[in-house]
Amino acid sequence: MPVFYDQDTKIFVLETRNTSYIIGINQAGGVQSLHWGEKVNHTDCVNMLKPHSHSSFDPNIEKEKEECCPWGGLFYAEPSIKAVFFDGVRDLKMTYETHTINKSPDELIVTMKDEYYNMEVDLVYRIIEEFDLIERHCIIRNTGEDSFLMENAGSAVWNIPNPDNSKLTYVSGKWAGESQLRQYSLTEGKFVLESRKGFTSPNFNPWFALSNEAADEEYGTVWFGVLAWSGNWKITVEKTSFGNVRVVGGINDFDFGWEMLKGAAFETPVFVGGYSNQGYGEMSRKLHEYQRKYILPKEHADKPRKVLYNSWEATGFNVNAEEQMVLAEKAAKLGVELYVIDDGWFGTRNNDQSGLGDWHVNKNKFPEGLTPLIKKVNALGMDFGIWVEPEMVNPDSELFRAHPDWVYGFPTRIGSLGRNQLVLNLSKDEVKDFILDFMSDLLANNNIKFIKWDMNRPVSEPGWMEVPEKRRKEIWVRHIINLYAIWSKLKSMFPEVVFESCAGGGGRIDLGMMRYADQFWASDNTDAFDRLSIQEGYSYAYCSKAMMCWVTDPINYLNHRKLPIRYRFLSAMMGSLGIGGNLNEWSDEDLGEAGRMVGLYKEIRHIVQEGKQYRLSSPGSGKAAVQYTDDKMNESVVFVLGHSQQFAESPFRIYLKGLAPERTYLVECEGEEVLRMSGGGLKNVGLPIALKGDFGSKIIRIKAVD
């Protein structure tokens, strides 16, 4: 039984395939964490439910590990819930009221209730048994007549069992440098990861991993959590003076307010947590499989991602029917399956200074509309896709002139521009309707099979002055609720359309968005060398199927680094492949090689997109090696990309993972060297790899032959 309650001990047990998650109700009616990790017997946890006092300065609750942390009484650690009642009282006293255990899905709901006011909180735990994951969220309810104001509505508090597990792994980044891995060993105090920018942001991503000091890719105990939210979020990792390691996360309480009217229920985003006793590698693989099975939109979750071409780096805003057709012909010859036209096709959008918001085709560039280009693309055997940035407006646009009140802002302030644009107030229903209308017209009137939805600046001056003061801080959440509602509606109206989430690259990659977005644009940085570390950081929490990677020009526009075509392809083939270079300038030799690499990718993409991923060697070591293996251990593919050869180094060895030890495999390296080895040999003896010169690269294919 994945969930059960022991009435005698007042303990709940949530079991996954390999873990126990145990909580109990203490004498004060608090819900306490007792264990999370390896399977144990819940009766061994009973002692932990007893109060453990220290001094009048350090209330009992500081030694306990609460599952939900309302701010009130003697609670001083980071709270997960904070409210102000109608009479000005801002102190919560919530205790266990009741619980429900459900089947399919396996679920525990523990209801807590304030002892005086009509406020209830459901702590919802849903078990994803096969991946050792628990999805948690809260439902906060007003069951009375008087309204109250929520000032904090966190999704979950995760308690990490042992203070030795204090090594925090997370990602930090910026535009063109997203998802850089960081590690930090906690001492007492708080470490906050967050976004206050109105979107997920490229600066930090809403996930954490806490492990023992020695944990690595293969060994060690790791507790981790990923938050499904695309707006302002906050994850506070705290080590208390008593050594408790706790993680509180959810919607950011900074500048947050939500009025709870009579009968209201507020559902927080899901924060999914898990445990691995085989290091970060197993953590990632559990998350990847979970995303493919439960999170990615059903319509396309099982279908291969198509090889796409995008014209942005080739043409910038200078798009027109004729030149796009020329590029489309060249892309089709390479085996591209989806042709995407980027920014610049609408309004007066000749640069980033005007036209954003005017979603009608620019007749100078496309005199007969998009249809001739779409027909041409379809005749070449490709689907057609298009770029949009619906949440934004240039002040120099018809939309802004008609609706200057549709943007966030304060009356005494001039709105700060970012990339010459302002953010539409998507909290307003008329803005939501406008976006839904133009997007459904665009999709209904054109044979469009792919949308790249961009967001190129953060929210600022977050004013919404037309609503009563108490409701103004709701914008941070309402924007995202309406965004999700639009995506959900569009997905149900146009199930055949694939959606990509982009925010100047990887600024809106998160589990919340992944329920609607089939894929993410991981970064505007298309330098194949930089990409290796961006992709490595991305892979900690997210699956390769949803990671779009383009091969661009030989000299990259950002770093001006020149890279060989094979290296560029192999770097991009570790996710879902796209091409984004100016094909008009590629040599015949490069075009020939590109065609071969696209062909090769199509042969292996089922392994890359659906298989188990093993990070064999980090790009930081100068030799990046990533392996993907299909579920049945029949086939595997390994990408090895070196930085530079030094000191006359001889071949180095890579040690493969995830193969059946007793089976025999045929190893093919670039079609040149062929050898046979057992799975055990590939793991323990390893495979010699020789790279040549700077930016050498190899792809190795492995197939079971018995």
Q: CB of 317: closest distance to ligand GLA in angstroms? A: 7
Contact 231, 476 (CB under 8 A): yes
Is residue 397 within the footprint of ligand GLA (CB under 6 A)?
no
Between 208 and 387, name the residue whose CB sits nearer to ligand GLA.
387
| Helix (H) / strand (E) containing 137 | strand 133-142
**Tokens read off for 241:** 């003076």
Q: CB of 509: closest distance to ligand GLA in angstroms? A: 12
List the one residue out of 159, 234, 142, 139 whose CA is nearest residue 194.
234
Q: Which of 377, 443, 502, 637 binds ligand GLA (CB under 6 A)?
A: 502
Q: CB of 621: closest distance to ligand GLA in angstroms? A: 29
Is residue 550 within the footprint of ligand GLA (CB under 6 A)?
no
Q: CB of 453: closest distance to ligand GLA in angstroms? A: 10
- HSE, side-chain direction, 13 A CA sphere, residue 427: 22
Q: CB of 389: closest distance to ligand GLA in angstroms? A: 7
Dihedral sign for Cα atoms in the order 498, 319, 421, 427: negative
Between 521 and 695, name the residue whose CB sits nearer to ligand GLA.
521
Is residue 504 within the footprint of ligand GLA (CB under 6 A)?
yes
Q: Is 524 a catalytic residue?
A: yes
Q: CB of 590: closest distance to ligand GLA in angstroms? A: 22
Q: Which of 289, 343, 500, 635 binds ligand GLA (CB under 6 A)?
A: 343
Stretch that binds ligand GLA, among 30-38, 144-152, 499-507, 652-660 (CB under 6 A): 499-507
**Tokens read off for 373:** 């280009």
Q: Is 58 a catalytic residue?
A: no
Q: CB of 456: closest distance to ligand GLA in angstroms? A: 5
Q: Which of 37, 335, 347, 505 binds ligand GLA (CB under 6 A)?
A: 505
In b/e form, how buried is each residue of 215-234, taking b as 16+ CB within 10 angstroms?
bebebbbbbbbbbbbbbbbb
Contact 385, 338 (CB under 8 A): yes
Contact 526, 178 (CB under 8 A): no
Q: CB of 657: closest distance to ligand GLA in angstroms? A: 33
Stretch that binds ligand GLA, among 112-120, 319-327, 502-510, 581-589 (CB under 6 A): 502-510
| 618 phi, psi to nearest 5 deg | -80, 145
Between 454 and 593, name the residue whose CB sits nearer to ligand GLA.
454
With both helix axes pointing from N to C terminus, report the angle between 371-379 and 321-334 in degrees, rounded to the nearest 10.
20
386 has which bridge partners? 341, 451
Q: Which of 106, 454, 510, 590 is catalytic?
A: 454
Q: Which of 170, 294, 312, 384 binds ligand GLA (CB under 6 A)?
A: 312
Query: CB atoms < 10 A from the CB of 180, how many?
Result: 14
**Could you identify the residue written with the tokens 């306990």?**
64
Between strands 94-102 and 107-114, the pairing is antiparallel
Q: Which residues contact 32 (CB under 8 A, 6 or more apart)?
A: 23, 24, 25, 26, 48, 49, 64, 65, 66, 67
Stretch that binds ligand GLA, among 181-189, 398-406, 498-506, 530-538 (CB under 6 A): 498-506
Between 284 and 525, name the residue whose CB sits nearer to ligand GLA.
525
Is residue 198 within the footprint of ligand GLA (CB under 6 A)?
no
Between 81 and 502, name the residue whose CB sits nearer to ligand GLA.
502
Q: CB of 398: closest distance to ligand GLA in angstroms? A: 19
Is residue 66 within the footprint of ligand GLA (CB under 6 A)?
no
User: x-or-dash pattern for ligand GLA, window 70-109, by CB under 6 A?
Assistant: ----------------------------------------
- Expressed in percent and rounded to 5, the helix, strand and coil fractions of the chain are 25, 35, 40
- Check residue 596 and report its DSSP letter: H
Select the residue whose beta carbon is closest to ligand GLA and give its number. Answer: 343
Between 524 and 635, name the residue whose CB sits nearer to ligand GLA.
524
Give the span between the Cα atoms of 474 and 449, in whole angstroms: 34
Q: Which residues contact 499 (CB under 8 A, 6 or more apart)?
A: 297, 450, 451, 453, 487, 490, 491, 516, 517, 518, 519
CA angle (574, 377, 386) in 5-degree steps: 65
**Could you identify the residue written with the tokens 């977005």?**
517
Give the span between the Cα atoms of 150 and 16, in whole angstroms: 33
Between 142 and 421, name the residue whose CB sits nearer to ligand GLA.
421
Is residue 387 within the footprint of ligand GLA (CB under 6 A)?
yes
- Number of residues forming the site for ligand GLA (CB under 6 A): 11
Q: CB of 560: closest distance to ligand GLA in angstroms? A: 19
Ranges of H-type helices in 542-641 = 565-572, 588-610
Q: CB of 535: closest distance to ligand GLA in angstroms? A: 16
Between 161 and 395, name the residue whose CB sits nearer to ligand GLA.
395
CA torsion 192→193→196→197, rounded to 10°?
Answer: 160
Between 154 and 344, name the residue whose CB sits nearer to ligand GLA.
344
User: x-or-dash pattern for ligand GLA, window 507-546, by CB under 6 A?
Assistant: --------------x--x----------------------
Between 281 and 504, name the residue whose CB sits nearer to ligand GLA.
504
Between residue 438 and residue 467, which ones bind ligand GLA under the rule CB under 6 A?
A: 454, 456
Q: CB of 511: closest distance to ligand GLA in angstroms? A: 21
Between 520 and 540, name the residue whose CB sits nearer to ligand GLA.
520
Between residue 156 and residue 185, which ones bind ligand GLA under the rule CB under 6 A?
A: none
**Could you identify the residue written with the tokens 């709901």?**
109
List the one residue out of 222, 124, 127, 120 whose CA is nearest residue 169.
222
Stretch that binds ligand GLA, among 6-14, 133-141, 500-508, 538-546 (CB under 6 A): 500-508
Between 22 and 392, name the residue whose CB sits nearer to ligand GLA.
392
- Check residue 293 and report its DSSP letter: I
Q: Which of 510, 524, 553, 590 is catalytic?
A: 524
| 576 phi, psi to nearest 5 deg | -90, 125
3-class DSSP string for 434-453: HHHHHHHHHHHHCCCCEEEE
Contact 274, 135 (CB under 8 A): no
Q: Which of 15, 135, 282, 342 binds ligand GLA (CB under 6 A)?
A: 342
Between 15 and 524, name the residue whose CB sits nearer to ligand GLA.
524
Is residue 356 within the footprint of ligand GLA (CB under 6 A)?
no
Contact 166, 94 (CB under 8 A): no
Q: Which residues contact 56 (CB under 8 A, 6 or more apart)?
A: none
Q: CB of 199: closest distance to ligand GLA in angstroms? A: 13
CA torsion 624→630→632→634, rounded to 10°?
Answer: -70
Give the span between the Cα atoms of 550 and 527, in whole angstroms: 9
Stretch that binds ligand GLA, among 205-213, 488-496, 497-505, 656-664 (CB under 6 A): 497-505
Is residue 553 within the footprint of ligand GLA (CB under 6 A)?
no
Task: Kindly list the catalytic residues.
Answer: 454, 524
State the residues that interact with ligand GLA by CB under 6 A.
Answer: 312, 342-343, 387, 454, 456, 502, 504-505, 521, 524
